[in-house]
Amino acid sequence: MPRSFTLDPHSNAAPNEVVVTHIALDLTVDFETRSLTGSATFDLDHRAPDATAVVLDTWQLSVDRVTGADGADLPFTLGEHDPVLGSALTIAVGTADRVVVHYATSPEARAVQWLAPEQTASGKPFLFTQSQPILARTWIPCQDSPAVRVTYDATVRVPADLMALMSAENPVERTDGTYTFAMPQPVPSYLIALAVGDLEFREIGGRSGVYAEPSVVEGAAWEFADTEQMIEAAERLYGPYRWGRYDILVLPPSFPYGGMENPRLTFATPTILAGDRSLVTLIAHELAHSWSGNLVTNSTWNDIWLNEGFTVYFETRIDEELYGAAYTSMLLRLGRQDLTRAVADEAPRDTWLELDMAGRDPDDGPTKIPYEKGSLFLRLIESKVGRERFDEFLRAYFDRFAFESMDTATFLAHLRTELLDPAGVSDEDLQLEAWVHGPGVPDNAPEFTSDAFDRVDEQVAALTSSVEPVETTLGSLATGEWVSQQWVHFVRALPVDIDHAVLAAVDSQFGFSTSGNIEIATAWLELAAESGYVFEEPAVDEALAGFLTRHGRALYISRVYEKLAGTDRGLARAREIYATARPTYHSVSQSVVDRIVGGP
């Protein structure tokens, strides 16, 4: 008997009774009505002998009819709409093992962003989906829980001058507008993805390539040249890549995340195209998800650290393989800074590793805690048992639980049995309970040193303590060989109460306000907003407004909005900018910023 599904507080489905095993989509994309119309055919497994109904998650879907495999109508009901969970679609299937739902999406489907031609580089319309965490139900009726995995295939019809792609086996050339897809490996619903636009493909490795709009694709192919090496490094660490190809789709700027680990086709923000390959560690992160997250998946969104904490740890191991320990130490230090900030910003209960998101939208959960605290916890375990032993454990873990879901309690039991007990490491040695079910960061957290950052700190001290004219001091700073991570650390290390004349000189010298590196620009604009400097320098205010209007990446725009919202004057300016920018953001980013500025 298969393992029972974990009760998911964010799904109406009852997979322990009848579970979906395969979805066949047949959809037409209509840019004029901003809708997807067609059908979804579900293969069913009756797990409970007396179960005669299948329950699917939906969110503002218009369900025309439901039929059996023979085309005969089946009775169904749509439950009351919940603003977060949507409506349960309950279908009386009897003993049938296949059912077809004929439906259309709403123009307000939260997973789907429809971009007008003026919002794209090519001047043609574009759409993309973002289904994580529980938005797949807004464009596909499904059992929208990460514990439920399905294979899928699809036929998608689009305008003839556009290309369609999915998180599946993809074309590399355009067709007449009809595209077919197959995903033979079972995936949770949040990893089903669709994009349609004016796209071209470039090969970058034997099993990797990049899709992007024509004016972007060459630069993207250059930026991601190390992808094949990353795949090989990951395989050396934790076993074979099991998804066939690993391709990357560069989306327009409104994409709300840095990347989304849709299997076979990572969706990526254009903000990582810095022109110097300095931000491609994001690709290492999304690639790592091919093991931690896509292969072994958190059972519910309370367990998201099992996806993201593992992936940050794995990402930095890939980076170390390719770029060395000194480079990785900078990333670890920056991550530690992010964690310290997150712990200060979040409610104590939201700084546990195992979250409690029942009754809440999982998109409202903490951002950096599962990532950085989870990774730090794994670094602690590594330090206690040794890297070689820990790597053996992780490789066996991915093999044993491949294409399955995992909850926190099951993982901890497995950790104790397979690693800690044989290594003679107790819960008390790790302070395990404090890490998983306690607030903040326990006092046995690993510390990371970085000579590169020590040199930055020396230059910051020279700048802030100098009695020479600031222009003279800036000209003497030893910054010639710095990489982007050092510049981020430099900006973060500047005191918030530093004289605004110094900030003006720093910006004049280094051009932070107009930096094309989103990490540097965000750190600088945060400082400018928090210090009040932005209100004294019209050019900086203009740069800040341009940044918030041009980008839709939730993590970075939210940081700038948060700093603005710290004062009455800043909040008023944030709301003024947001009134213009909000319509260009994906619903994920809108939800994040709505909470910061007090609504649209």
Q: Which of 152, 179, 371, 561 is catalytic?
A: 371
Would you state the torsion angle of the CA atoms of residues 26, 30, 33, 39, taken in this order, to the nearest 10 degrees? Answer: 0
DSSP codes, 56-85 = EEESS-EEEEEEETTS-B--EEE---BTTT
CA–CA separation, 142 and 120 (whole Å): 30
Which residues make Cβ contacts (< 8 Å) with residue 47, sequence separation at least 6? Answer: 2, 15, 16, 17, 18, 19
3-class secondary-structure state, position 290 = coil
Which residues make Cβ contacts (< 8 Å) with residue 161, sequence separation at least 6? Answer: 124, 198
3-class secondary-structure state, position 557 = helix
End-to-end CA distance of the chain: 49
8-state DSSP, 86: B
Burial class (CB in 10 A: 0-12, 13-18, 19+), 190: buried
Q: Which of 286, 346, 519, 526 is catalytic?
A: 286
CA–CA separation, 155 and 588 (whole Å): 27
Q: How far is CA 13 from CA 18, 49, 181, 325, 570, in A?
A: 9, 17, 26, 46, 44
CA–CA separation, 377 and 375 (whole Å): 5
Nearest to 260 by CA among 12, 583, 555, 562: 555
Instruction: Respond yes or no: is residue 228 known to be catalytic.
Output: no
Instruction: Respond yes or no: is residue 286 known to be catalytic.
Output: yes
CA–CA separation, 177 and 163 (whole Å): 7
Number of neighbouring beta carbons within 10 Å of residue 151: 16
**61-78 burial, b for 16+ CB within 10 Å, e for fewer?**
bebeebbbeeeeebebee
Catalytic residues: 286, 371
